[in-house]
Amino acid sequence: MRDLVAGVARFQRDVFPAKANLFAHLATNHTPHTLFIGCSDARVVPELITGSEPGDLFVIRTAGNLVPAYNPGVDGVTASIEYAVSALGVSDIVVCGHSACGAMTALAERRDLTGTPAIADWLRHADASSARTPATGDVSALVRQNVLVQLANLATHPSVARALACKTVTLHGWAFDIATGRVEDLGAMDADSTLAA
């Protein structure tokens, strides 16, 4: 915690003054161009890997960068997607997987998750990802396939489906490699709902 307090002091002393004009603008404006859906993994920092400024990205981070397919009911992920697309009008949505993902590793290695039932339940949203990946324990293949499955799940949300039909949004799949910093473009999905690399 001491690191965080020192970090806040450093932010207020060094970072904020240099961006004072930006924050003054952002105080009354929220117009991110992109919804970035990434993993909660501490090593995958959306703003850092995309060189983004505050205000640029609307971010949802979930374990395994999973996006449950649309299902009516109370759900923070769905509400955040709807807000980004319908209220904020983002023009692009990125689903970003990453190397050494704990969620994808657990699935690829078929780990026993009975002791962590909430994780086991959540990872069911990647069932289609596992089904479409050869059962060889290849984590990086599963990471990529999972991004494509989550893009398809994303498109089941009414707000996203509407924006795709109106050609106001494009969906993108990415994979980030922690060791090299490389970002692989896995393709984009547009109004025709076809994934083109």
Instruction: In angstroms, give the least distance from the CB of 83 to Zn ion.
Output: 23
Q: Which is nearer to Zn ion, 84 or 126 (CB)?
A: 126
Which one, of 28, 159, 23, 25, lies nearest residue 90 by Cα?
A: 159
DSSP state string for 26-88: HTS----SEEEEEE--TT--HHHHHTPPTTSEEEEEEGGG--PPP-SS--HHHHHHHIIIIIS
Residues between 90 and 119 that touch Zn ion (CB under 5 A): 101
Backbone phi and psi for residue 91, each to the nearest 5 degrees, phi listed first = -95, -15
Q: Pick between residue 102 and residue 187 the one whose CB is nearest to Zn ion.
A: 102
**Cβ-based nearer residue to Zn ion, 41 or 154:** 41
- Residue 60 as a binder of Zn ion (CB under 5 A): the answer is no
Compare residues 48 and 166 and give the one whose CB is closer to Zn ion.
Answer: 48
Q: Report, in Å, the least distance between residue 23 CB and Zn ion.
A: 30
Q: Residue 50 phi/psi, 5° resolution?
A: -110, 5
Span 136-195, contacts to Zn ion by CB under 5 A: none
101 labeled part of a ligand binding site: yes
> Can you read off the two tokens belonging to residue 183?
């970002």
CB of 153 to Zn ion, least distance (A): 16
Smallest distance, Å, CB 101 to Zn ion? 3
How far is 132 from 53, CA to CA, in rounded Å? 36
Instruction: Quote the least distance from Cβ 79 to Zn ion, whole Å.
Output: 22
Is 39 within any annotated ligand binding site? Answer: yes
What is the pattern of x (binds Zn ion, CB under 5 A) and - over residues 33-52?
A: ------x-x-----------
What DSSP line would sit under 126-153, residue for residue?
GHHHHHTS-SS--HHHHHHHHHHHHHHH
C-alpha angle 155-104-94 in degrees, rounded to nearest 5:
35
In the complex with Zn ion, the residue whose CB is nearer, 26 or 77, is: 77
Binding footprint of Zn ion on the chain (CB under 5 A): 39, 41, 101
Can you say which residues are annotated as belonging to the binding site for Zn(2+)?
Answer: 39, 41, 98, 101
